[in-house]
Amino acid sequence: MNCELIRARAPLRLGIAGGGTDVAPYSSEKGGAVLNTTIDKFAYCTIRPRNNGRMTVNSLDYGLVEEWPLDERPLKYGGNFDLIKAVANHFEVRQGFDMFIHTDAPPGSGLGGSSTVIVCILGAMSEWLGVPMTQYEIAHLAYHLEREELGLRGGKQDQYAAAFGGFNYIEFKRDDVIVTPLRVRKDILHELHYSMLLCYTGKTRQSANIIESQMDNYRSGQNEVALDAAKRLAEEAKDALLRGEIRHLGEILDRSWEQKKLFSSSISNDVIDTMYGLAKSNGAIGGKISGAGGGGYMFFLCDYDRKHMVAKELVSHGAIISDFNFEKDGLQTWRYRQ
């Protein structure tokens, strides 16, 4: 076979502080701020052009394959692959293609999976069609298609993290998003990585339900104070990171987790509370759930001589420790002829 493949990959992210303040209506009314970083777990997309007017999408994670004609416009939503249909509708794609998608983490993991997937798809599609797009443009379009076109609940940070990559302090205004890439010294990154423990709780969750609960609580005035505190802690965490104050950053994570649990009663549960308590009692300085909450990945900052004990206790209670590295690059696209 001699054909050109268009590929893209985008990194998944860890939400360090401020998560939840990027969710409307709080972000549009009061402005939000988050600190996050990307890691070496990715979403992938491959496009293989076809010489007909049909599109086929293959989810390698789920083993699902579906096909539609492209002469019916717009493609109707309501199936398994609405994100891909939204992208095809936006670009008004007429040429047939096969698309293959998969991720390095399960859905509902708290690593920004669905938003990273659509950023990846947009990257591959813009590369294939020769439509140059900046990181801001891809992230903004990803948010528009996912949240506004399809009405999927969630915040704004995931799309920008995937597009930009690295450590970023991201501010959300009423009509604007400002991404500030952080130049963290290598020795600080090494120490942060050495101190950090990433684990999978063994349970995924539907983030949309948690986000909906958080939004309702904000509208009724129940969690505004906690969201305000989370936003302040995001800036404090950014400053601690840049100064290399790892222990202080861990303490901020601990305070951030206490505030995050006030956003919604669905954010934590008995399993998460038990794991967090075990981690703290065995030497973790602080930590939190990455993402909306309810399950998925947790991470902790630990004293270097206690990290192994924290890991041992978490594993004994069903957690899975994940090896990872920080990833400095965001969305990447390329072509390959096979």
From 22, 82, 104, 158, the catalytic residue: 158
Could you tell me if 43 and 30 are in contact, meaning their C-beta atoms sit under 8 angstroms apart?
no
Q: Two tokens at 148? A: 């506004």
Q: Is 158 a catalytic residue?
A: yes
Going by C-beta distance under 8 Å and a sequence separation of 6 or more, which residues neighbour residue 36? Answer: 13, 14, 15, 16, 19, 157, 161, 167, 168, 170
How far apart CA 254 and CA 39 sit, in angstroms, is 21
Helices vs. strands in the chain: H and E counts, helices first? 11, 12
Extended strands (E) in the chain: 4-17, 32-49, 54-59, 64-69, 97-103, 168-172, 177-181, 196-200, 284-289, 297-302, 320-321, 332-337
Element (H, E) at 70: none
Q: Two tokens at 221? A: 């005035």
How far apart CA 202 and CA 298 sit, in angstroms, is 10
How far apart CA 86 and CA 88 sit, in angstroms, is 6
Query: Which amino acid belongs to residue 238?
Result: K
Whole-Å CA distances, 271 to 17, 166, 263: 22, 30, 18
Which of the residues are catalytic? 158
